[in-house]
Every structure is written in structure tokens, then in C-alpha cells.
Structure 1
């Protein structure tokens, strides 16, 4: 699809560098996941053509990053999904009525460009009640589960007391034993990649999560100081745990990380998260968002993150059927069933489910 800044009706699909998107970034609270450097990195690791979908309604403007994907099995048309992370829609208003008009306007823009269905990842901290309530009118809003965040505009004592007591004991024991934290150092990239790859293999993560080297290099080059690598070394100087953090304005995101198998028993990630929180607090960040469990579940990963803070926010996604007739035909449904999205998470779009049209992976939470 040829992306260009020419307006069509009440909106357009443009590149992340387009002035209208840049204006929204200046006007609205945003995150690393909205920045062109991050989005271009995603385009190296995910299927689809990167764009910003812009819509105008009620005198306001909305924009949202999307990856446009050709329909499977050679069908004419597109579907769309958010890049990995929380690249939620941004709007120049938080008025509920305006949000409803903007969501409808966005659906109209996508329909004009031949998009059949769209999957949106919303933001646990930035997607407002007005945005969420209005989204219900254009699709199926799914609450995946809680994500953990650490407020950083507090005293060190308050930050420390918010950590689970057993975790505090573990952290103190690691410090006494000589485990060492190294902050914000891109020379750690080979260490990080080795530990991350080992962790993904050990946990049975899908192929999607085995990001290529070019992805990490693109994040470094595209986000500059907004992306940083941090690590913990054991008393013998061996790398034990590593993490990639993204920072934009006051929000820090724990993006990816892992722990070496040989260090699992000592749980060095506890020290890593605590030291990183202190590091970003000293830099003036407002919040460290640790995320949630796999697929939004309250699993062991979520419980580990919840050991650092009792504060949480819900991650939502939105499933929008833009063209019910074509969606029904592609999915083998009656047209009357196309709008009846499953109440749970399900597989969306349904026609990308294995065995439906082609064994291609659909959108992931």
C-alpha cells in the first residue's frame, strides 16, 4: 500500500514522521511505543507495513500506529494490528462524545483503505475511561488482566517498603554476597541477547519473541537515550540477569529481559528491578511499568512482578470488524455472526486461525 499524506475524507494513513502525528505526540501524553524510532524497529521484526491511521471528527484528531497485513491466501485487502507493546490511540481530546466520533471516524478511514478487521493494543496507563468506553461502540473490548507499575515520585524508603518482604531479604542477601548492578550500557548487548535468547528457549516462548539482532540495534539507534540495557553480574563477574528498558517523558517500560539458567536459584532479577527503579527515580521518571503475566494472566510472572508494587492497571485490547460481510466470508461465518465477536479473547481475526484459510499467526495480546 502506498502511504502518503494526502487526506481522504476524514482521515488518512501516513508514515510516523508525518507532521499530523508529530503534532499529536507533542500535544498528548505518549510513551516510547508511539515514537517513530520504536515503530520502525517493530517493522523489522513483525509482519506488515507500518503506518499511522489518522482520523478527524468533531473538530478533533486521533492517531494510532498500525501494521497493515495483506490478507491470507491471496485475498484482496488488508487487516491491521498494533505493533508489539502498548501503542494505543492518541487523541487531541478526552471528551467522551468526541472519542465516540473519533473511533467511528477511524473505522471509516480503515474501511476506505480496504481494511477488513483491526486489532488494537491499548495502554494500561494512558488509555482513559473515555477512550475505553467509546471503544465499546466500535468493537469488542477485552480486559486481559492487570499489569504492575511502580510509582517513582516517592521516597526511597517508600519505594523499598512497597517491595514484598521476602524480596527485600533476597535483595539484601545478593548485595551482601557481592552481586553487582550495571546500568545503561549498550556494550551489554551481546550479554543481553544471550540471556534473553536462553530465557525464551527455556520458557518455550513462541517464535515471535525471538527477536532478530536488527530489532535491538534499531531500538538503540531509533530511541537513543530512550532505550537502555541493564544487567546484574554474580560475584565472579558472570552475567546473571539482563533487561531492556524504554523511557519516554516520565514513563519507563520494562520491555524485555531474562535470567541465566545457572542463576535462577538466586533470583537476580529481583535486584535488577530494584536497582533499575532507583536508577530511573534518580533521573526524574514518574513511573516504572513492569507489565503483566503471559497473555495478561495472573500467572507466576505476574506474581513475581507484583512483588515490587501493589499498584496495578488493566491491559485492554480492542477487536474491530471493519467489513462484516467480507470478514464473515473469509472466516466461514454467516454474515449475521460476523459482528458477534466471542466474549473472551479467542483468535482474531478468526480467518487467521490455523486451518481456517492459511496457517498464519493472528494478533497476539
Structure 2
């Protein structure tokens, strides 16, 4: 049986996530309620104790009766009551049939979802189509001794971290409203410096709410210099994985790269708390760019990072492209293509 839950169904949503074999904070009710409270949906196919749950965000396609599905910011994709390689093929087929029928009933044209680099969700979605290779995500294995981890750094990173410590930069966990407000200001400064869209200009209230969830463990790791907050990031810990989320630095301190100290101190804390990996993510727009190379200076552990780009109704998809004057062969990395805005 396939059921659909919204953010009004907190207990059910949280229950499925909590019973999943693997999940991250991006899947939780709390995060979806924060990011997209009106449009978030949890599609659940269930047979007895077995289930597959897929958090998605419903969007209307303007001027039509059709809709599409996307995901919240971050690594989401489906979760399940067992590891995907342990699900029976006939169970997966029944999920597929029920899910496709639901897409048809809701007039869904397409689905876009980022996948989680640690969970092997491709084993479920390969029975559909549309798995798209976005590149690599950078991860640090903190099960190894700290000195082994440090030996994997680029030589200049070890030197820079040592210099930061010698100059008096230090990392502290912070919880006060003043610290959160100051960090929000730094984050906004950072986003404006790199030309980010308004979507990424999160307010102090957003950070306060992100840090307040009972569904995952979160910490605000801040770098102080001479008593002033100059850098930091939100570290969110779920199921042995630490995500360093929304890391930023004051422009005046960029040359010394204090986020490197945040990453090392997070790895030390993670060992103390029993976590296994830090996921640093990839480059901007999934590219192996300067940001990716910066992250790769910490480690040579890379995870395949994919997205799911599924066309549920090819006929309507093609019609929407035609109405926008777009060709399906257009060479841009964008999905669904009918939402692409041509650049002047």
C-alpha cells in the first residue's frame, strides 16, 4: 500500500525515518518542515514491517494541470526499512508499480532528487531510469587514528592549521542567540561575496531553528580570534555521519583559511562522540572546481554522488519543452529542462 504524508503528519513522518536502516538529517520531518512546510511530501510504500519512504517536494507547473517533484536542499533520496541491497526484487517491483501509479494519478511530469553518497539508493532506483552521475563527494574517514588522517592532508594544510593555532585561532561550540546572530551575519557576507541567490540568504531565525531539532544532533562550531567570531559552520550529526553545513568566513580572515581548523576540530569531536565519517560534499553545482579541490586537500576518500532525474510523463515533458522553445538536446546541466531560464 502506498500512502502520502505531509508535514501535518509529524508522528508518522518521524516514525518512518526513525525506523529506517539509514537516514540523514535531510530526511527528517523537522528539516522538511523548516525548508518546505507546505509542499513537502513523504511517499511511503509499505507491506507489513517493510517499507520504502521517499521525501519529496511538490510543485505546480504554472499554467497547467501538471506538477513535478523535487527535493529539499541537501542529500535526500529514498530510505527504507532495510539496506537497499537486502530488499527483495519483487518488493521493489511492487513499490515501483504503486509509485508510478501515484505519479500518474497526481499528474506528475518529472522528479528531481539529489541522492545520498553513502546509502546506495541507486540499487533501488536503477529499476526506473534517470540516475545521473554528478561527480564526487569528498569524505573524511574518522575511524582511523587522527595522525593517519593528518597524514592524508595536503602538506600546506598541516602547515596552515598549525599557523592558525599558533596565531591564537580557536574553535568553540556556541549556543547563544548572540553567537548565532553573529554567525548568520558572517554567512550572509560570505554568500553576497560569492554572488549567491536570495535562496541561500538564511536569517538568524533559520539558523536557530536548524540547530533546535530533537531529531538530530547539531552543533555550531565557531572560530574565534581575539574574542571575535570570524568563521564557522553548522555540524549536524546523524547515524555515524557528520555533515558540515553552511560553512562561512569573514572576508578579512580568508587568507588564513580558518575553516580548515573547523574541519579538523570537528573530526576530533566526532571521534569522541563515536561518529565514523565527515561528509564534506562536492563542488559548486556538482563540479570538480576550486571548492572541490579545496575539500580534496583533506582526504583521498571520494564517494560517487548522483541525482535522480526521472521523466514520469515523456509526452507532457516534450510538450512543455516545445512551449518554452527549448530543445531536449540543449547542452545544459539542468533538470527538469522545462524550468530552465534562458540567459540573455
Q: Shared fold by TM > 0.5? A: yes
CA distance in 1, matches of 2:149, 2:73: 29
The one of 210, 219, 222 equivalent to 2:210 is 219
Unpaired runs of 5+ residues, structure 2, are none
The one of 67, 85, 91 equivalent to 1:78 is 67
Query: Cα gap change, 1:186/1:70 in structure 2, threshold over 3 Å: closer, same or farther?
Result: farther
Q: How does 1:88-99 map onto structure 2 within 5 Å?
A: 88-93=77-82, 94=84, 95=87, 97=89, 98-99=91-92
The one of 90, 103, 108 equivalent to 1:110 is 103
* Structure 1 position 165, deviation (Å): 1.6
Q: How does 1:227-246 map onto structure 2 within 5 Å?
A: 227-234=218-225, 236-246=226-236
CA distance in 2, matches of 1:24, 1:182: 31
* Structure 1 position 43, deviation (Å): 1.4
* Counterpart secondary structure, 1:148: strand
* Counterpart secondary structure, 1:332: helix
CA distance in 2, matches of 1:266, 1:201: 20
CA distance in 2, matches of 1:25, 1:344: 40
* Structure 1 position 332, deviation (Å): 1.3
**Structure 2-normalised TM-score?**
0.88
* Structure 1 position 207, deviation (Å): 2.1
* Structure 1 position 105, deviation (Å): 3.2
* Superposition RMSD in Å: 2.7
* Structure 1 position 67, deviation (Å): 0.9
Q: How does 1:160-171 map onto structure 2 within 5 Å?
A: 160-171=150-161
CA distance in 1, matches of 2:216, 2:136: 28
The one of 51, 70, 83 equivalent to 1:61 is 51
**Cα pair 2:45 2:95 within 8 Å, conserved:** yes
Aligned residue for 1:130?
A: 123
1:331 aligns with 2:303: no
**Cα pair 1:42 1:215 within 8 Å, conserved:** no
- Cα deviation 1:125-174 (Å, max 9, x = unaligned): 1134523533xxx2321111111111111212122222222101110111
CA distance in 2, matches of 1:324, 1:20: 31
- Larger CA deviation: 21-30 vs 62-71: 21-30
Query: Cα gap change, 1:18/1:127 in structure 2, threshold over 3 Å: closer, same or farther?
Result: farther
- Cα deviation 1:260-318 (Å, max 9, x = unaligned): 10001111111111111111221111111111100111111111111111111021111
Unpaired runs of 5+ residues, structure 1, are 1-9, 357-365
1:194 aligns with 2:185: yes
1:286 aligns with 2:276: yes
**Cα pair 2:136 2:305 within 8 Å, conserved:** yes
Matched length: 335
Aligned residue for 1:121?
A: 114
CA distance in 2, matches of 1:20, 1:265: 44
**Cα pair 2:184 2:203 within 8 Å, conserved:** no
CA distance in 2, matches of 1:208, 1:139: 29
